[in-house]
């Protein structure tokens, strides 16, 4: 196992990175709370059908709607991403890999007939919830009258 010095990471940086959550982030929780209060039901942190290691933040399984709440740094937000000043090559390789995986995920889900909504962490939670609810309601009405707007995932 490599020591921290050979990785170029200070103990403080290591603690900060370990504190980054993979799920149940502040933006996710805010959006989920709003959607739930509006009567929408969904699954959280569901594995994707084509790769069990990849997960959607929210899944509305009856209408094949997958929602991802992306962090600005980790997913290369066009508005807020700032290139790291230390270990630049390492971080850019990782972040660009995340970006390529995001594109691949969207493409594969859409090829399966699913709808993908991606939301940036900086988006106002109410606006994000509006976008998700709008997509959900459109899909429900397109599926069939058998799935009424009162049905929930």
- Strand ranges across the sheet with 115-120: 43-48, 51-60, 65-70, 115-120
φ/ψ of residue 20, rounded to 5: -70, 125
Cβ neighbours of residue 101 under 8 Å, at least 6 residues apart?
A: 54
- Give the number of other CB atoms < 10 A from CB of residue 61: 14
Q: Report the candidate in 39, 65, 48, 69 with the shortest Cα–Cα distance to residue 57.
A: 69
Q: What is the mean pLDDT of each run of 10 residues along the chain (153 residues)?
A: 53 60 82 98 96 96 96 88 88 93 98 97 97 97 64 50
The whole-angstrom separation of Cα 109 and Cα 57 is 14
Residue 146 is predicted with a pLDDT of: 54
Look up the pTM and report it: 0.81
Residue 6 is predicted with a pLDDT of: 44
Residue 22 is predicted with a pLDDT of: 64
User: E strands of 28-114, at which residues?
Assistant: 43-48, 51-60, 65-70
Note the CATH architecture for domain 34-143: 3-Layer(aba) Sandwich (3.40)
Cβ neighbours of residue 91 under 8 Å, at least 6 residues apart?
A: 83, 84
Contact between 68 and 28 (Cβ < 8 Å): no
């Amino acid at each position: 196992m490599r020591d921290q010095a050979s990785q170029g990471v200070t103990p403080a940086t290591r603690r900060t990175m370990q504190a980054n959550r993979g799920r149940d982030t502040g933006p996710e929780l805010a959006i989920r709370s709003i959607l739930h209060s509006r009567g929408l039901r969904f699954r959280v942190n569901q594995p994707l059908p084509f790769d069990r290691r990849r997960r959607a933040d929210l899944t509305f399984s009856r209408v094949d709607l997958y929602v991802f709440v992306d962090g600005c740094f980790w997913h290369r937000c066009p508005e807020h991403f700032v290139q790291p000043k230390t270990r630049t090559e390492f971080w850019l390789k990782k972040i660009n890999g995340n970006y390529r995986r995001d594109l691949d995920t969207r493409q594969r889900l859409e090829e399966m007939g699913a709808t993908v909504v991606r939301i940036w962490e900086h988006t106002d939670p109410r606006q994000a919830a509006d976008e998700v609810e709008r997509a959900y309601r459109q899909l429900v009405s397109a599926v069939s009258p058998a799935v009424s707007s009162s049905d929930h995932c």
